[in-house]
Structure 1
Amino acid sequence: GRSDFQLFILPDKKNTIELKFDFSISAKSGNKAFYPGERYRETDNLHLPDLSKCKNFVQNPSFEGDLTFWADGVTDIKPSPKIDNFWKISTKNPHTGKKSAVYTTAKGFNGPMLCTFPIAVIPGKQYTVSFFAKTDTEKTAISVFVHTAKWGDFPGSKRFRLSREWKRYSLTFTAPNEFLRLCFGDRWWDKGVTDNAHVYLDDVQLENGNKVSNFTQKPLFAYSDTFTKNQCIPENSKDKKINVTIVNTTNTTHTYSVYITIKDVFAKKLLSVKKSFSLDPWSNKTVPIRLNILNKMKGFFRVMMDVADENYGERFYGRFMIYKQIKTKPSLVYAWHFTPLPEQTKYLETFGIWGSLSFTPPDMEYNIKAKFHDKGNELIKILNHHDVASSREK
């Protein structure tokens, strides 16, 4: 299948690639004495939101939490050299609340689609996706594309011509397997017809059945630096911290109790913070969490955010890492699915990273402004799309 996190190894000087597969460690992984290292399967199980009681299955559907729980995906191989960041957050006349997502077009190109995180569904069951959208330019359109756990199984795809006023659009489909992502923007065969047209997206909903109901979302939301470059903290930083943001997604004032816990990969509790405060309608508050107690620690850390108002409560999850800079230059090239932007390249240099992070070997036409090294035998080591190379700021 196809994945946004594929690994590519370029040929050596003799234009050959040699791969060796050794399954001995996997075969013996049940023996703790054999491999006593990090055991994520036992200590750090993946978390998926419980959607069983939700009417709307989409997390952060009105973008009041910025682009948290959203990611780039389903894109053409080569991005436009005209635009650094196709998708951003807009505070200009949203449909609901104070924010919406905005997509900027480039003539002859298509940017990465904006996709939800994977949503668990029931195979064979009908679902309906709906959203509000508008544009500032005539003859501008947006596509919705349903991407599932199996590449090639796309149960829904439709393109909508937009107007200058907010309108609701919908698509009904039948889930072919257990997971899907909802993707918005230009599909890989769609090309922008003009430069700098703006498409605004808000109030996305996925619900059971073949009918559209009134938009709804959770009354509160919380997120940390997990979805920005700020979650990667150098070990020599003098001010180690992460930020946790609480969002009121209602039109009334509420008082919130917040309990933030940080654990290591073995689920050992390292520190906790309690807060209480009120938030006005559609407002948010960012709480800085100082990490001085982790002064000599490195690696991955979990962030658990328990947030409750007078009537509703939920636990949200995040993570961060403390890293040590790479000082040596290994011999292989690991390529990443998306080409980094110029400002991302500067940030990646703090990791001791050299080379290109593109889906294919770089073309100078697209990468010259990013000032890449042109040596083809250096290591690119990257955590994932959201860990170090996402440009999520407005």
Structure 2
Amino acid sequence: MKKIFTILGLVSATTIMFAQTNLVQNPGFESDLTSWAAGTGSGYTAPAILTTNPHSGLKLAAYELPAATTGFYQNVAIAGNTQYTLTFWYKASTTRPEGTTQNNIFRLWSVMKDTTGTPVYNSATANDDPLRSNNGYLPIAPTAWTQHTVVFTSHPSAASIDVAFRSYGSGSSYVDDVQLVQGLLAVTDVSAFDKSVKMNTVVGNELRLILPGKATVNIYSADGRLVSSNRVDNGQAINTSSMTKGNYIVTVDNGSAKVSRKVIKN
């Protein structure tokens, strides 16, 4: 039977970030909390590792309605007086009613350190420090994965950075795909990756993919439930024989770019 391919569909980003060396270990929590730890505050607890609707891959880190302020971090070696880009994807929701301070749920709270482990800052206060969310909080984003990016030049005495996140009570926060690279993230038009990803949009017993390289392919039901997740190479197929008839969303993520397609199981 003739295969039907498409290069149209739902595109989840407007740019593609080409692969650069990510200095963060276990950035997508696929190895649970390996390389991550609770902190940096006293009494902080480690986040839970969930498998429901990650940004990519199979897992994400989450605090769901923590009883008190908490957080987690990873210490990463960096060089002094060097430009870096820190980026990650998050979701944050609140149980606070309208009319109250709703957005103080989640923030980036990272700090550079010298060779002795002493904090070093580029600014006199947190108000002027994007690595500490300018002493503010990230916008509430309850349903859609939202990317937050900070470009900074390291302190001349910096030898490492605690890539750290804080979560606060009366809300929940979710983190995935943390990336720290030297320099700026290289970007290009999304159409280059989008056009190279092809698949049969009418699915029987298999979903066959044409890809530029190995990628994580997730299939979601119409209500957002993850049906399957597979690492797929060019020309390989996913067995869809057990899927019920209906509409599905397929995401293709190579770790640097992510696009989506709508398919029909008949």
TM-score, L = length of structure 2: 0.51
Q: Report the counterpart of residue 89 of structure 2 in structure 1.
A: 132
Deviations 1:347-379 (A, max 9, x none): xxxxxxxxxxxxxxxxxxxxxxxxxxxxxxxxx
TM-aligned CA deviation for residue 211 of structure 1: 4.7
1:153 is matched with which residue?
A: 120
Q: Helix, strand or coil for the counterpart of 2:29?
A: coil
Query: Which among 120, 144, 154 is matched to residue 175 of structure 1?
Result: 154
Per the TM alignment, residue 170 of structure 1 is displaced from its structure 2 partner at its CA by 1.1
Instruction: Give the aligned residue type for 2:132.
Output: S
- In the alignment, does 2:57 pair up with 1:97? yes
User: What's the TM-score once normalised by structure 1's chain length?
Assistant: 0.35
1:95 CA displacement: 0.6
Distance 1:168 1:180, change over 3 A: same
Equivalence for 2:72: 114
Query: Is the Cα–Cα contact under 8 Å of residues 146 and 180 in structure 1 kept in the other structure?
Result: yes
Cα distance change on mapping 1:86 and 1:73 into 2, 3 Å: closer
The 2-side partners of 1:157 and 1:281 are apart by: 35
Distance 1:166 1:212, change over 3 A: farther
* Helix, strand or coil at the partner of 1:157: helix
1:331-350 map, 5 Å = none
Which structure carries more strand by proportion?
2
Q: Distance in 2 between matches of 1:142 and 1:213?
A: 27
Which amino acid in the other structure matches residue 164 of structure 2?
Answer: C
Which amino acid is 1:69 matched to? S
In 2, Cα distance between the equivalents of 1:129 and 1:95? 17
Asked whether the equivalents of residues 128 and 212 of structure 1 are also in contact (C-alpha less than 8 Å), the reply is no
Give the C-alpha shift of residue 145 in structure 1: 2.2
Alpha-carbon distance, 1:78 to partner: 4.9
Deviation at 1:65, TM superposition (A): 0.9
What is the CA–CA distance in structure 1 between the aligned matches of 2:20 and 2:178, rounded to whole Å?
A: 14
Comparing both structures, which one devotes a greater share of its residues to helix?
1
CA contact (8 A) 2:37 2:46 kept: no
User: Is residue 162 from structure 1 mapped to residue 112 from structure 2 by the alignment?
Assistant: no
Report the CA distance shift for 1:211/1:125 in structure 2 as closer, same or farther (over 3 A): same
The corresponding residue for 1:303 is: none
Instruction: Give the count of matched residue pairs.
Output: 154
Aligned positions of 1:199-210 closer than 5 A: 199-210=173-184
SS in 2 for 1:96: coil
**2:119 maps to amino acid:** G
**How many angstroms does 1:119 deviate by?**
1.9
Report the AA paired with residue 184 of structure 1: F
SS of the equivalent of 1:161 reads: coil
Q: Runs of at least 4 residues of structure 1 off by over 6 A?
A: none
CA distance in 2, matches of 1:57, 1:78: 27
Deviation at 1:136, TM superposition (A): 3.8
Partners of 1:86 and 1:104 within 8 A in 2: no
- Read off the aligned partner of 2:148 and give its amino acid letter: Y
Report deviation, 1:142: 1.8
Question: What is the 5 A alignment of 1:139-288?
Answer: 139-140=102-103, 141-150=105-114, 151-155=118-122, 156-158=131-133, 159-164=137-142, 165-176=144-155, 177-186=158-167, 192-194=168-170, 197-211=171-185, 213=187, 250-251=215-216, 280-281=230-231
What is the CA–CA distance in structure 1 between the aligned matches of 2:40 and 2:121, rounded to whole Å? Answer: 12
Partner of 1:74: 40
Percent identity between the aligned chains? Answer: 26
Larger-Rg structure: 1
Secondary structure class of the residue paired with 1:166: strand
Cα RMSD over matched residues?
A: 2.9
Does the CA contact (< 8 Å) of 2:56 and 2:216 recur in 1? no
Mark the runs of 5 or more structure 1 residues left unpaired by the alignment: 1-52, 80-84, 187-191, 215-248, 253-278, 283-394
8 Å contact from structure 2 (residues 50, 62) kept in 1 = yes
Aligned residue for 1:114, secondary structure, equals: strand
Structure 1 residue identity aligned to 2:176: D
Instruction: Assess if the C-alpha contact under 8 Å between 2:38 and 2:46 holds in 1.
Output: no
Q: Which moved more, 1:128-137 or 1:203-212?
A: 203-212
Q: 1:59 to 1:142 in 2, by over 3 A?
A: same
- Give the equivalent residue in structure 2 for 1:285: none
Q: CA deviation at 1:250?
A: 4.1
Relative to structure 1, is the Cα distance of residues 213 and 104 closer, same or farther in structure 2, using a 3 angstrom cutoff?
farther
- 3-state DSSP class of the match of 2:120? coil
